[in-house]
Amino acid sequence: MEIFNYSDLSAMDISRLVQRNVDPANEIRDLVEDVIAHVKQNGDRALYDYAYKFDKVELTKLYLDKAELTEIAAAVSAEQQEALQIAYSNIYKFHKAQIKPEDKVETMPGVTCWRELRAIEKVGLYIPGGTAVLPSTFLMLGIPARIAGCSEIVVCSPPQKNGKVNAFIAYVALMLGINKVYLAGGSQAIAAMAYGTDTITKVDKIFGPGNQFVTKAKTIIQSTTTTAIDMPAGPSEVLVIADRTAKPAYVAADLLAQAEHGIDSQSILVCTSESIAQATLAEVEKQLQILPRAEIAKQALDNSYTIVTQNLDEAMDFSNQYAPEHLILATENWKQITDKIINAGSVFLGNLTPESAGDYASGTNHTLPTSSYARAYSGVSVDSFVKKITFQHLTEEGIQNIGPSVEILAEMEGLHAHRNAVSVRMQSK
Cα–Cα distance, 47 to 197 (Å, whole number): 9
* Cα-based torsion angle of the residue sequence 202, 204, 210, 216 in order, rounded to the nearest 10 degrees: 90
Let me know: does 123 contact 408? Beta carbons within 8 Å: no
Dihedrals φ, ψ of 194, to 5°? -80, -40
CA distance 344 to 378: 8
What is the sign, positive or negative, of the torsion defined by CA atoms of 185, 191, 194, 197? negative
Residue 75 CA, distance from chain mean position: 29
Among candidate residues 237, 260, 325, 355, the one labeled active-site is 325
325 is catalytic: yes
The active-site residue out of 95, 261, 326, 366 is 326
- DSSP strands (E only) in 20-72: 63-64
**4, 308 contact by CB (below 8 A):** yes
Rounded Cα distance between 124 and 58, Å, is 24
Q: In the Cβ-directed half-sphere of 109, how many Cα atoms lie within 13 Å?
A: 4
The separation between CA 76 and the C-alpha centre of its own chain, rounded to angstroms, equals: 26
Count CA atoms within 13 Å of residue 328 on its CB side: 31
What does the alpha-carbon distance between residue 124 and residue 126 come to, in Å, rounded to a whole number?
A: 7
Burial class of residue 334, CB neighbours in 10 A (0-12, 13-18, 19+): buried
- Tally of residues, the chain: 429
Question: How many Cα atoms occupy the beta-carbon half-sphere of 412 within 13 Å?
Answer: 6
DSSP secondary structure, 36-74, as one string: HHHHHHHTHHHHHHHHHHHS----SSSEE-HHHHHHHHT
Is 332 a known active-site residue?
Answer: no
Report d(CA 425, CA 407) in Å as an integer.
Answer: 12
The answer to whether 163 and 9 are in contact (CB under 8 A) is no
User: Angle, nearest 10°, between helix axes 167-175 and 66-73?
Assistant: 120
Residues marked active site are found at: 325-326
